[in-house]
Amino acid sequence: MTAPEALQWSVDNCTIQRSLEIMGDRWSLIVLREVFQGIRRFDDMTVRTSIPRQVLTARLRRLVDDGILRKEPYRVPGQRERHEYRLTEKGLNLYPVLIALQEWGNRYLADPAGPPIEFAHRDCGEPVHLVVRCAAGHDLTGSREVVGRIGPGAVRRATPAAVGD
């Protein structure tokens, strides 16, 4: 057999990879889950998760540096000023990633009662789900209808893989 065609192409500009580099590890997505649930303060973020405090500090800094969260100051009477974390537009636009992870988890890993967290349509209150649609307007009904392929920004690798087996 010949080598898969994809091997001839570089993934240096892969946007999946770049997204994952910003996410860093699963803790970043857990932090975002908490913020999406209205949990915005450092100490509160440690209540439901087992995230180590120094990891949380690092992940929050990274998410702020990358423009996904922004810091908002607040002050409790008698205490020093602190800040809480809010989603930016860029951060809010990550909700399909959380929904996609949750839908897969709901299918394969859920307890019978269902998930403890839900995403809903703000206007009508109904829960939301993801639909895969193609540019011709077809809604896809199964995973076998999707195919991965070389994209418009593909660049040939400088040192192509030896074609062989």
Residues 88-147 that bind a copy of itself (CB under 8 A): 89-90, 92-111, 113-124, 126-136, 138-140, 143-147
Q: Identify the three-state secondary structure at position 4.
A: coil
Q: Are 100 and 109 in contact (CB under 8 A)?
A: no
When asked if residue 158 is in the footprint of a copy of itself (CB under 8 A), the reply is no
Among 29, 51, 55, 64, contact with a copy of itself (rule: CB under 8 A):
29
Among 70, 148, 158, 163, contact with a copy of itself (rule: CB under 8 A):
148
Say how many C-beta atoms besides its own lie within 10 A of residue 45's C-beta: 21
Please name the amino acid found at residue 76: V
When asked if residue 33 is in the footprint of a copy of itself (CB under 8 A), the reply is yes
Say how many C-beta atoms besides its own lie within 10 A of residue 35's C-beta: 21
Distance CA 165, CA 140 (A): 34
Nearer to a copy of itself, 54 or 143 (CB): 143
Among 61, 71, 72, 151, contact with a copy of itself (rule: CB under 8 A):
151
Among 2, 16, 61, 64, contact with a copy of itself (rule: CB under 8 A):
16
Q: Identify the three-state secondary structure at position 157.
A: coil
For 32, 78, 84, 103, the CA distances from 74, given in Å and listed in that order, are 20, 12, 7, 35
Interface positions, 37-66, toward a copy of itself (CB under 8 A): 37-40, 44, 47-49
Size, binding site for a copy of itself by CB under 8 A: 101
